[in-house]
Amino acid sequence: MSIKKGMVAMQIQKSYQNDSAGVLYIVPTPIGNLEDITFRALRVLEEADIVLAEDTRNTGKLLHHFDLKKRMISYHEHNKATRQDQILAMLAEGQTLVLVSDAGMPGISDPGYEVIQAAIDQDVAVIVLPGANAALPALVGSGLSTSSFYFYGFLPRKNKEREQAFELLASLDTTFILYESPHRITQTMEQLAERFGNRQASIARELSKKYEEYLRGNLPELAAWISDHPLKGECCIVIEGKQEQQEVEWWESLSVKAHVEQMMKERECTSKEAIKQVAKTRQLPKRDVYTAYHIQ
């Protein structure tokens, strides 16, 4: 129900008081361990007219495991624009739809935001179930402050946008959370160590699965470990916010290459000697500093 006052429309959703209208349920699904699905999620899936799935093959396996036979329609990053009118039409007819992603909460680093917004604009009840996700277990298990936190998700891939993201994150005094794939985690951790120095951090991977693992330490330590021990599985990175009481080192605003050049200038030393000192100061592997100076 929308109430217009002046030029502003305020909306009030009474989720369970209009049985004749269509409903869009947002249902989180297990990120690994199938036992993490809730009784309520199974009931809603069973009662749904249609399941909107990011990948019908993956969701089909989940439904089969719980002996649920449901009609599915794909809804993912590449067809979300063309699917939207069809979905809104089904909701207008009074159908009950369930949106799921491959794992976790739809709309959080997964498709869902656009159709949720469109449904709300059409006064359709959008009911979100609590359930499995990666960010909160990773945060709590990190041992870092949970009093306030910032969820960013996946970092941009383009250098300019990535640098802007780093600038934003560097300004936060709260714990922040990133997602990263196993294919990019090594490079990302090297960049984080270079940008954020000795901040405490945690990497959680394979959450709720057999090989669940937490790595805890400062960013240079974690970057060095991952460089020698490649990780598998999706990773969740949790990093402490800036601490006002911590003294900022003069070199933290410099790139590794600029730091080496500054050392050479100040100490009138060779690049080899400067690289050795920078590696020690930043607590980075010497080969990483060498690469940053000579190759990148």
Tens of pLDDT, residues 80-111: 999 999 999 999 999 999 999 999 999 999 98
Specify burial of residue 105 (Cβ count, 10 A radius: 0-12, 13-18, 19+): buried
Q: What is the pTM assigned to this prediction?
A: 0.77
Give me the residue label for tokens 């909460």.
Answer: 105
pLDDT given at position 11: 84
7-29 pLDDT, tens digit per residue, is: 567 888 888 877 667 999 999 99
Predicted confidence (pLDDT) at residue 195 exceeds the cutoff of 80: yes
The DSSP bridge pattern shows strands 235-239 and 200-205 to be antiparallel
d(CA 185, CA 168) in angstroms, rounded, equals 20
Predicted confidence (pLDDT) at residue 203 exceeds the cutoff of 90: yes
d(CA 267, CA 29) in angstroms, rounded, equals 57
Predicted confidence (pLDDT) at residue 3 exceeds the cutoff of 60: no
Please work out, in degrees rounded to the nearest 5, the angle formed at the alpha carbon of residue 242 by the alpha carbons of 237 and 163.
65
Quick one: average pLDDT of 115-119? 95
Provide the CATH topology of domain 9-128.
Cobalt-precorrin-4 Transmethylase; domain 1 (3.40.1010)
The domain 135-239 belongs to what CATH superfamily? Tetrapyrrole methylase, C-terminal domain (3.30.950.10)
Predicted confidence (pLDDT) at residue 276 exceeds the cutoff of 70: yes
Nearest partner of 29 among 59, 51, 50, 56, judged by Cα: 59
Greatest mean pLDDT among 5-9, 175-179, 261-265: 175-179
d(CA 161, CA 165) in angstroms, rounded, equals 6
pLDDT given at position 296: 61
d(CA 77, CA 57) in angstroms, rounded, equals 16
Residues near 69 by Cβ (< 8 Å), separated by ≥ 6?
63
In the chain, where are the structural domains located?
Answer: 9-128, 135-239, 250-294
Quick one: average pLDDT of 150-171? 93
Q: E strand or H helix at 157, and its extent? A: none
Nearest partner of 153 among 132, 135, 173, 126, judged by Cα: 135
Nearest partner of 271 among 238, 239, 295, 237, judged by Cα: 295
Within 13 Å, how many C-alpha atoms sit on residue 85's CB side? 2
pLDDT given at position 244: 67
pLDDT given at position 189: 95
Q: Which two tokens stand for residue 200?
A: 């405490």
pLDDT given at position 105: 95
Average pLDDT, the chain: 91
Band the pLDDT of 40: cuts 50, 70, 90. very high
In angstroms, the Cα distances linking 137 to 89, 146, 170 are: 37, 11, 23
Nearest partner of 59 among 93, 22, 110, judged by Cα: 110
Confirm whether 9-128 and 135-239 share one CATH topology.
no
